Amino acid sequence: MTDRRETRGPRPRRGPEELRSHRWYGTGGLRSFSHRARTRQLGYLPEEHLGKPVIAILNTWSDINPCHQHLRERAEAVKRGVWQAGGFPLEFPVATLSETFQKPTPMLYRNLLSLETEELLRSYPVDGAVLMGGCDKTTPALLMGAASADLPAVLVPAGPMLRGHWRGETLGSGTDMWKYWDDYRAGLIGDCELAELECGLARSPGHCMTMGTASTMTGAAEALGVTMPGAAAIPAVDSGHSRMAAAAGRRIVELVWEGRSLSTVLTREAYEDAVTTVCALGGSTNAVIHLIAMAGRSGIGLTLDDFDRIARTTPVLADLRPGGKYLMEDFHQAGGMPGFLSRLRDRLHLDRPTVAHDTLREQLAGALVHDDDVIRTADDPLSAEGGIAVLRGNLAPDGAVIKHLAAEPHLLRHTGPAVVFEDYRALQAGIDDPALGITADSVLVLRGSGPLGGPGMPEYGMLPIPGHLLRQGVRDMVRLSDARMSGTSYGACVLHIAPESWVGGPLALVESGDLITLDVPARTLRLEVDDAELERRRAAWQPPPARYGRGYGALYEEHITQADTGCDFAFLARPGEVPEPHAG
């Protein structure tokens, strides 16, 4: 890789009096005296912080978040880098969004973390920020909040865990959980095997090492240009991860002195390159919602049509599970994101800036791929077009998505009778009921699982296949919902149907037995019921009552937007000025 210091010309350096923190510490009044006195109370000498960039380290570490289990130590590496560069680091604990444990879904709280991020950066005497996280919703939440605050910022991705192992097989977290759970339900493995799998699926700190939502979003973040080069794929427990964290600490101090806010990096071109990257990675459908929301915070109107347009002409070059066979540790050794992006050069905007370099072109200079099986060439792609398709039709007038790369090909054009479940509890209770007469040709439909109905749009979209079909060898069916799906999962699952059923979208009008047609090549999803009958059903539909009487849930219900616009809070997504606080 080209050394940034060899290729960049000198930049104007701001003076200490131009630092944002100077308003707290250097104005000479009573408040500045108080701020300095309280900093002495913390045990710091004047020369440790006065006239230096104050760097907020926003750390999503928690005892119950295995993805971030190591970030307490990594924060020390970031601090080391900040001190080395002449800055003053302050660590802020922020909300942790544990994909595994938080219910009903951490998606319910993504916007809460984004709001916390924005307001912490706005209200404290900080000049720049290092954002630490990587679990699915954490990356977009931190970047959404930082984009709204618009200070200099660098993301330190948590990094993928080590590959899993079981009886000589390499396991991918999430992906192989779904696979072997189906085998368990089908009677192919028993309790002993399942107990062994529990111990082999996740062997270290770090997020999922498949191309699930976590790696998709950290990969997108690197493509956006908000991480150090190569940061997204470094395994969480690799010593290179500590070095990367220290480098981020050094770099954020330089960014503050240069006055390079996050908005100089998060341009329309950057977001389009992130979409291209997600498509070429065969990444998670969740990235559609997150990137649209992130772009909205940057004042950029990214849409579902942008995803579909880019996906149609972008080949999948990463042979990673669940759509391929390798894992993130293999991807890192094969060249990581720099090598991967170097193979997309002709599709990227190379002259835009990143946090680490003046241009993406400069950042990718010298990047190499070391294994063409893991990171394919454009002449030998895993798929000729991106793994995500956007569907429209009378069942999804505002759009729906499918990760068709991870579905069985014969299901990409399919018509079958609907079997409808009102909510996820009804699905759990009834999916194995033989009285429903579910066959391999049936279309399973789940409603009541969208942004409001979930609530929070949980990852219910990979509807389970009935046990009797699993025992017959069926491993995929067409499944429809207004929910999301784990990025580690797979199957012919149509997701994010908008508007959702909870607000009276067409999904609320489907009845068991109705024929539904999915045609991915034509990008259509259609309910084969005439308009007059749909109007009759619509007239009879009654909206459900509000679920929350108070608290954050009530705030969420009042302001959440639909999936096609990113599920952000309307009051956070809209344009408008926010005054800087008076610190004197």
346 and 285 within one domain: yes
- The reply to whether 512 falls in a domain is yes
- The reply to whether 498 falls in a domain is yes
131 and 85 within one domain: yes
What distance in Å separates the CA atoms of residue 519 and residue 411, rounded to the nearest whole number? 9
- The reply to whether 546 falls in a domain is no
How high is the pLDDT of residue 5?
36
What distance in Å separates the CA atoms of residue 519 and residue 167, rounded to the nearest whole number? 40
- The reply to whether 21 falls in a domain is no
- Tell me how far CA of residue 544 lies from CA of 6, 225, 480, 504, 508, in angstroms: 62, 43, 21, 9, 11
What distance in Å separates the CA atoms of residue 159 and residue 287, rounded to the nearest whole number? 17
Domain count along the chain:
3
Please list, in sequence order, all residues whose beta carbon lies within 8 angstroms of the beta carbon of residue 121, skipping any fewer than 6 positions away: 56, 58, 129, 145, 146, 149, 151
449 and 352 within one domain: no
Structure tokens at 260: 């390079």
Residues of the domain holding 59: 52-162+204-364
What b/e string do you get for 136-171 counting C-beta neighbours within 10 Å, with b at 16 or more?
bbbbbbbbbbbbbbbbbbbbbbbbbbbbbebeeebb
513 and 407 within one domain: yes
Please list, in sequence order, all residues whose beta carbon lies within 8 angstroms of the beta carbon of residue 502, skipping any fewer than 6 positions away: 447, 448, 450, 451, 452, 453, 482, 508, 543, 544
Chain centroid to CA 284 = 8
- The reply to whether 554 falls in a domain is no
- The reply to whether 573 falls in a domain is no
How high is the pLDDT of residue 12?
80
354 and 503 within one domain: no
- The reply to whether 377 falls in a domain is no
- CATH number of the domain that residue 457 is part of: 3.50.30.80
How high is the pLDDT of residue 506?
98
- The reply to whether 295 falls in a domain is yes
Structure tokens at 105: 């879904």
80 and 186 within one domain: no
What distance in Å separates the CA atoms of residue 392 and residue 401, rounded to the nearest whole number? 9
Mean pLDDT by 10 residues, the chain (584 residues): 42 91 96 98 98 98 98 98 98 97 98 98 98 98 98 98 96 96 96 97 97 98 99 98 99 98 98 98 98 98 98 98 97 98 98 98 98 98 95 98 96 98 98 97 98 98 98 98 96 98 98 98 98 98 96 98 98 96 94
pTM comes to 0.97
